Structure 1
Amino acid sequence: MTAGVVESNDGEVFSLTFMCEFGEPDGQDIRPGFDIYSLVTPDQGTAYGCIGQVGLDGDVLRVTLDALGLDDPVVGAVLRAPASDVAACKRAH
């Protein structure tokens, strides 16, 4: 599964891409610790298992990151997506 959050503000774009497998991980994924979700930043910074907390209040998503060296570890985004997609995020949350 891949889910992305993108923000554009005066020509600057910030995005986070969350990825995970739904199937059972195999030994090749488990040994290096890739048997969990990954998060990719716009500059291709990638971390596994770096999310400390996730909250979804209405259409506002807040993610607290434990890695990636961000100045502010809390990333917030207003989800401008069809109601069915926001509902799917809530079920996955």
Structure 2
Amino acid sequence: MSEISAEQVAHLANLARIALTEEEIEHLTTELGQIMQAVEKVSEVATPDVVPTSHPIPLHNPLREDVPADVLSVEQALSGAPEHDGTRFVVSAILGEEQ
């Protein structure tokens, strides 16, 4: 079983440029140790005959058929627009860019 030390936690925090107090280092050392133990347990049972999964239950995305239907005319689509040029919506430029 791999153990993580307070020195390793402090080193990782330094690499990540995270300032930790001694209490935080002690707390994280315990937590990271528990995480490593959990990963080791999973590694013990993860054998080549166990198929990796992203989700324990097969997911199905129920989608309806894409059936063509009546659509809005250009005039209907633009009827509620605050501003349009007859064929397209007109919107103001963003970030000061002019087009």
Query: TM-score band, normalised by the shorter chain?
Result: under 0.3
Judging by fraction of residues, say which structure has more helix.
Answer: 2
Judging by fraction of residues, say which structure has more strand.
Answer: 1
Query: Scaled by the length of structure 1, what TM-score is found?
Result: 0.19
